[in-house]
Chains A and B, each alone.
With several copies, the nearest count.
Chain A
């Protein structure tokens, strides 16, 4: 279910220090989300496309990952232009498209698609293991990093447990429907997942104690030194700064 296929590549982005990528992803995403001007947003869109290209990800996998947001965008285009008040732009029978409505939709579309492309290019191209390490070096609290890595580690285990439980139910003639029996069955399956998760947590905690864990998290640090790191960092910062300033001046 969870695949880290995008992390397998070997592009320029893949070779950058994960910390640099995390910082850039944060900076660009927030700057982008706070922009309003179409000109600036257009430039961000191009910027995001360039990042995706630099990560050498095929159009197919990227589009697949954008599917949820594209569906969302489609939905707002169907609703917002007609419900938003303001200067009418176009009449379609009884419906009126308004200019502010269309502008709002356009803005949301560019922002959401660009932010997700930045996310895909910079963050989805590393494994969660690497991401955790990067967050650790960026001084995110140890407990939170540990929580992230441990949660990630056991998702696959629990997912498999769920698949097997569901399969067992189906083999015994369970056909889900809209009825109490089905909801109760799903509740039992979910309940069983939590019970097993809790029992497993006890065992894992014991296993950690046996390996000398005493409350401090240590990890293998492996910073990737790469000539490109400072270059990329500077480049992205400069570009973002320019776009932020343009945005501010535009007003």
Chain B
């Protein structure tokens, strides 16, 4: 068996000043080829978990190994950060350059590519996602769905080995969701996706985890949870879907 790409072991974390542990001896392994979904209530720590993997929240205890080597200092995290593509919960937070191509090229420029190389890389990725025509569009004037795709492009332009997607579909309509499903199913990359939508998750992942009291719950518990939920809605008059 190969080594995990991301390996968290007994990670505990509380925000400074807070007493409650958001992550409590949490362990997680992500292997090459994994396509994992994550579905858990608001505030259960999903975003915090992603930030811990990226080295933005430093755990109080536990170890993190990424690509087989332990990371704990800012230098070590900086070295691996560009190989993990994190897509934010809100695409608006991720797009800060004036035009789409500037934004997608921002990461490659930081990786040390020349301006021309970075621009070429950006164009390539935009073409792969089918949004080549947006190249010179002003980022903040894009529609919600377009922003999401550009954010994905700007993450993919770093050529990461694994993607972390934080609620990629919140506020998106079904058309854009289906486009995302297609794109993700065609990308040859491992990913972990947070979403509150079961249908979306099942369409793009092989397993769905949940989180409760700072720990990861396995597939089975999630399934039970879902049945219960659907039952509750069943009490209200609602159309057959």
Interface, chain A (partner B; CB < 8 A): 4, 127-129, 132, 149-150, 152-153, 156-157, 161, 164-165, 167-175, 181, 185, 188-189, 192, 195-196, 199-200, 203-204, 206-214, 218-221
Task: Give the residue of B96, B107, B111 whose beta carbon is less than 8 angstroms from that of A189.
Answer: B96
B82, A212: Cβ atoms closer than 8 Å: yes
B140, A150: Cβ atoms closer than 8 Å: no
Q: Rank and list the top 6 A-B pairs by shortest CB-CB distance, nearest first.
A: A212-B110, A129-B98, A173-B110, A172-B107, A164-B93, A218-B109
By secondary structure, the B interface counts as: helix
User: Shortest Cβ distance from A179 into chain B, in angstroms?
Assistant: 12
29 CB-based A-B contacts, threshold 8 Å: A149-B97, A153-B98, A164-B90, A169-B106, A170-B81, A171-B81, A171-B86, A172-B82, A175-B110, A181-B109, A188-B98, A189-B96, A199-B140, A203-B88, A206-B51, A206-B88, A206-B93, A207-B86, A207-B93, A210-B54, A210-B56, A210-B81, A211-B154, A211-B158, A212-B78, A212-B81, A212-B107, A214-B78, A220-B115
Q: How far is the CA of A172 from the CA of B109 in the complex (A)?
A: 9
Residues of chain B within 8 A (CB-CB) of A212 are 78, 81-82, 107, 110-111, 158
Q: How far is the CA of A212 from the CA of B77 in the complex (A)?
A: 10
Interface, chain B (partner A; CB < 8 A): 51, 54, 56, 78, 81-82, 84, 86, 88, 90, 92-94, 96-99, 101-102, 105-107, 109-111, 115, 118-119, 138-141, 154-155, 158
B90, A175: Cβ atoms closer than 8 Å: no
User: Shortest Cβ distance from A132 into chain B, in angstroms?
Assistant: 7
Q: How far is the CA of A11 from the CA of B8 in the complex (A)?
A: 46
A207, B88: Cβ atoms closer than 8 Å: yes
User: Shortest Cβ distance from A44 into chain B, in angstroms?
Assistant: 32
A213, B140: Cβ atoms closer than 8 Å: no
B102, A172: Cβ atoms closer than 8 Å: no
Residues of chain A within 8 A (CB-CB) of B155 are 172, 211
Q: How far is the CA of A129 from the CA of B139 in the complex (A)?
A: 11
Residues of chain A within 8 A (CB-CB) of B90 are 164, 203
Residues of chain B within 8 A (CB-CB) of A171 are 54, 81, 86
Residues of chain A within 8 A (CB-CB) of B84 are 210
B109, A220: Cβ atoms closer than 8 Å: yes
Q: How far is the CA of A168 from the CA of B91 in the complex (A)?
A: 10
A207, B94: Cβ atoms closer than 8 Å: yes
B96, A172: Cβ atoms closer than 8 Å: no
Nearest B residue to A4 via CB reads B138
| Known A-B contacts A168-B93, A172-B110, A203-B90; A127 and B140 likewise in contact (beta carbons under 8 Å) | no
A207, B78: Cβ atoms closer than 8 Å: no
Nearest B residue to A156 via CB reads B140
Q: How far is the CA of A70 from the CA of B196 in the complex (A)?
A: 50
User: Shortest Cβ distance from B74 into chain A, in angstroms?
Assistant: 9
Other A-B pairs, 16, CB within 8 Å; known A4-B138, A196-B92, A204-B96: A129-B99, A152-B98, A153-B97, A164-B93, A165-B96, A167-B56, A172-B107, A173-B78, A173-B107, A173-B158, A175-B78, A203-B90, A207-B96, A212-B110, A212-B158, A220-B109
